Amino acid sequence: MPRIHDLLAAGTTYSFEFFPPRTDEGDRQLRQTLNELEPLQPSFVSVTYGAGGSTRDRTHAIVTDLLRQTSMTPMAHLTSVAHTRVELAAILTRYRNAGVKNILALRGDLPRDGDDDAASPGEFTHASELAALAREIGGSAFSVGVAAHTEGHPLSASLVDDRRHLAAKLDAADFAITQFFFEAQRWVAMVNDLADLGCDKPVIPGIMPVTNLAQITRFAELSGAAFPAAIADRLTAVADDPAEVRRIGVELATQLCADLLDAGAPGLHFYTLNRSPATREIYTNLGLTTADT
């Protein structure tokens, strides 16, 4: 099974992200999406981890199924919130023993009120601690990634502080993947800031095409991503026409991808929301073929 940092060293990567479904219908939808996207031969795919470990077993099951039953290389998300160090070490050991070589180490969000462990922050304060533990458990067998925010994490004291923390995380990891954003220059500025701090680890841009205006607006608010006025105005003008919102969203995402590749991005990571059409359309628009992936 390839390690992601080796894939990045070999050339541009194209990857997809999925989340563990909570219902039988959601599971059916995910399986359909996997079948539709596998022919694109992604460099790797990732599976998210619910707040406080709420999808721990489902995440593990999907990751191991992808490893054993498909041609796709999986990466398991893992968050430290609401977990002890012993629990995290056990999860990482389980992945290592299953042959999973790629881990995305995240601090994560606390579960919502009413969920199990809602008041438990866990033993680790920073994602860099989890990345270091992954390195301890997996050694050179693991490829470890971390998250990045082009505009800075919403809880960061300042953008300067955010960049320092990101550089420290990357010092413990092999690569980063950003949250979604809308303008290529945001990624370029972040990479330049990291270079000024002596950090040259690859940072893969995260792409989420706008297919639902209300949903993307909510996601942007939660992640701290700036929603540029020109884009918001264009989408708001057709808010009553979902098909036109989607068409414009795919068009904008395609241009963003092209701009990022022109700027030297090491790859593109698509947030699929467990559906394939928008990602497949962007692939077509970019002229990507299985030979490119």
56-74 mean pLDDT? 94
Q: With both helix axes pointing from N to C terminus, report the angle between 184-196 and 242-262 in degrees, rounded to the nearest 10.
A: 30
pLDDT value for 53:
61
State how beta strands 143-148 and 102-106 pair. parallel
206-227 mean pLDDT? 84
Q: Is 196:167 a contact under the CB 8 Å cutoff? A: no
Q: Is the pLDDT of residue 89 over 90?
A: yes
Q: pLDDT-based confidence at 150, cuts 50/70/90?
A: very high
What class, spelled out in words, does domain 4-286 have in CATH? alpha beta
35-55 mean pLDDT? 88
120-127 mean pLDDT? 82
The domain ranges of the chain are: 4-286
Catalytic positions, written as ranges: 17
182-187 mean pLDDT? 96
Per cent of the chain over pLDDT 90 is 76
Count the Cβ atoms, other than its own, within 10 Å of residue 1.
Answer: 12
Q: pLDDT-based confidence at 291, cuts 50/70/90?
A: very low
257-281 mean pLDDT? 97
